[in-house]
Amino acid sequence: MKSWLQRERALEILSKEVGYVRKPHGHRLRIALAFPNSYWVGMSNLGLQTVYRLFNAHDDIVCERFFLPPKQELAELLATKAPLVTLESQTPVADFDVVAFSVSFEWDYVNVLTLLRLAQIPRYAAERNHHHPLILIGGAVTFVNPEPLAPFADVIAAGEGESLVPAFQRAYSAATDRQDLLRLLALERGFYVPAFYEPQYAANGTLAGFIGAPGAPVPVRKAALRTTEAVDPPATGIFTPDTEFGSRFLIEVVRGCANLCRFCWAGYNYLPVRPFPTDRILALAAAARAHSSKVGLVSIALCDHPDIERILTRLSEMGYSISPASLRLDDLTEPIVRILRESGERTITIAPETGSDRLRRVINKTVTNDEILDRADLIFSSGIENLKLYYMIGLPTETDDDLVAIRDLTLQLRERMMKYARNRGTVGRIIGSVNPLVPKPGTAYQWLPMENPRIVEQKIKRLRSLTADLDNVYFNIKSERHSYYQALLSLGDRRVAPAIEAAERNGQQWRAAVDETGVDGDFYIFRDRSNDAVLPWDIIDGGMKAAFFHDEFAKSLREEWTMPPKRQQENAKLLPVIQ
């Protein structure tokens, strides 16, 4: 591919953007920031947008972006060996001092390697030296379980960008050379330098521990903001029509969720609940109104913001149509639903997770079917037409009755929908999305094996037949094979890395990649880990104690709720995760 063609494509992208930063490189620290997926997906990612803003807020740093090129362009780049360039200045990525990846999904691990290949940078850290950029990998996945990516990274940034970026800048300014930078970063909270740690394995292949080099702490403590009181919320800073969410203005309103669902890594890993300042949310939204008429509220527990009604009312008055990412059932109050409806929302997404109250006690989803149906009345009576539902299967103690309960609850919700649709004369849709449980690191289910695939397939079949041919109800039930490799990336340790590299080489033929590299996927996925001395993700201390998770697991089997401490103060008392 000709370099002028890459340049032209970059300029075309920039011509449709508002808000990107262009700085002369001069003596600045040059950071090439990658989202390991397409521009289309990446530009809707608030993590990427925020890190870009945070880096560029430092006068002595220039940060530019690059993405996974579209298929044809990617093939051309590989064929011609033309070096991958950044968008803003069309500089070869390999010429930057630092290449930083913001990784949100396990599926993008292979893309991290593709981007390194396109940039002509050796993929394994051990093959790089001071002539190469420093490879920094951050993003949500890294503070859940960074180990499968560890051999590819010089540094893993574990935690929240608002804490990590200033610490990185500090270390970089003080460092005398690359090795000194790594040493200084290892002393900072949230930076994990994999080469400084030697995993130890027991005879049965399980992890026995990590030995850290002198000065390298074991474990590495996640970096997080103590409070968000004086911090600008993550928000769209660069607008483009070419993204998943169009020119929608995305903003994080509150961080964290205090519900403590036992399977939910986001719930446990973003504690405590921290609202962003109302005035800053509204000021940023007002400034963005010139570029967008839609606002997407990206928070896992939106209504835990103490000012949520005022925020929604003001956004509506600004003329925004408002889309919340997902609403917790206990958040759906009459004023909230009314404001959403008035702002033009026609679909609400909720997550009952399962159809039975019993199983909801097991997973600590602290709502009942009666409450869900009550909220459905509220939703449909307000004029909202469609409902999206998230369900899970493969939950501990699940039986066939629980699958039938998914169908039954959905039917009852459909009845509620029809009752109001008749008066209105238009019928909406109920869309159920079903995923098998992948036990996640950093949750009360982190020791659990994933359910036997034959049983999961049977359950999928059963649920498909239970939910087939329901008028105005559509179910999307995810297959087990897809979850298997996702689970491998989620639950693996650094011995899984060669399979990621092989999958990148062979066009993501995961089965062949795993066979070729001799990685025993079942070992990671279907083994009960309760007797393991150490789990791969224990190298990062996310703030929650193993004893708490053990307790929660025992309560899960006793079908007992841990009632969520709704108020932030109580939450801080119960879970003092950020010290």
**Which of 151, 267, 296, 442 contacts ligand SF4 by CB under 6 A?**
267
Q: Is 259 in the site for ligand SF4 (CB under 6 A)?
A: yes
Residues 517 and 502: beta-carbon distance below 8 Å: yes
Question: What is the number of the residue whose Cβ is closest to ligand SF4?
Answer: 267
Q: Report whether 381 contacts 358 (CB < 8 A).
A: no
- Window 277-316: residues binding ligand SF4 (CB under 6 A): 300-301
Letter for the amino acid at 296?
G
The 3-class secondary structure across 400-434, one letter per residue, is HHHHHHHHHHHHHHHHHHHHHHHHHCCCCCEEEEE
The DSSP symbol for 223 reads B
Q: How far is the CB of 266 from ligand SF4 (least distance, A)?
A: 5
Write out the DSSP string of 30-76. Answer: EEEEEESS-HHHHTT-HHHHHHHHHHHTSTTEEEEEEEPPPHHHHHH
- End-to-end CA, the chain: 51
Q: Are 257 and 561 in contact (CB under 8 A)?
A: no
Nearest distance from C-beta of residue 328 to ligand SF4, angstroms = 5
Instruction: Report how many residues bind ligand SF4 under the rule CB under 6 A.
Output: 10
76 versus 371: smaller Cβ distance to ligand SF4 = 371
Which 490-509 positions form the footprint of ligand SF4 (CB under 6 A)?
A: none
CB of 352: closest distance to ligand SF4 in angstroms? 11
With 0-12 / 13-18 / 19 or more C-beta atoms within 10 angstroms meaning exposed / middle / buried, residue 60 is: exposed
Instruction: Work out the angle between the directed axes of helices 400-424 and 453-467 (0-180°, nearest 10).
Output: 30
Q: Is the CB of 267 or the CB of 394 nearer to ligand SF4?
A: 267
What is each CA distance from 409 to 244, 354, 355, in whole angstroms? 31, 9, 6
Considering the rule CB under 6 A, would residue 360 count as an interface residue with ligand SF4? no
362 sits near ligand SF4 (criterion: CB under 6 A): no
Shortest spacing between CB 273 and ligand SF4, in angstroms: 10
Q: Judged by CB under 6 A, does residue 324 bind ligand SF4?
A: no
Shorter beta-carbon distance to ligand SF4: residue 261 or 337: 261
Stretch that binds ligand SF4, among 9-17, 130-138, 256-264, 290-298 (CB under 6 A): 256-264
Q: Does 354 bind ligand SF4 (CB under 6 A)?
A: no
Rounded CA gap, 204 and 122, in Å?
32
87 binds ligand SF4 (CB under 6 A): no
Nearest C-alpha neighbor of 444 from the set 363, 503, 388: 363
Comparing CB distances to ligand SF4, the nearer of 264 and 488 is: 264
The nearer residue to ligand SF4, 155 or 301, going by C-beta atoms, is 301
- Torsion angle in degrees (nearest 10) through CA of 54, 55, 56, 57: 50
**Could you write out the three-class secondary structure of 1-43?**
CCHHHHHHHHHHHHHCCECCCCCCCCCCEEEEEEECCCHHHHC
- Over the window 449 to 488, marking each residue x when it contacts ligand SF4 by CB under 6 A and - when it does not, the resulting string is ----------------------------------------
Please say which residue, 121 or 409, places its beta carbon nearer to ligand SF4: 409
Cβ proximity to ligand SF4: between 157 and 260 the closer is 260
Work out how close the CB of 544 gets to ligand SF4 at its nearest, in angstroms, rounded to a whole number: 12
Please check whether residue 68 is in contact with residue 77, taking contact to mean a CB–CB distance below 8 angstroms. no
Closest distance between ligand SF4 and the C-beta of residue 386, in Å? 20
The residue ranges that bind ligand SF4 (CB under 6 A) are 257, 259-261, 264, 266-267, 300-301, 328
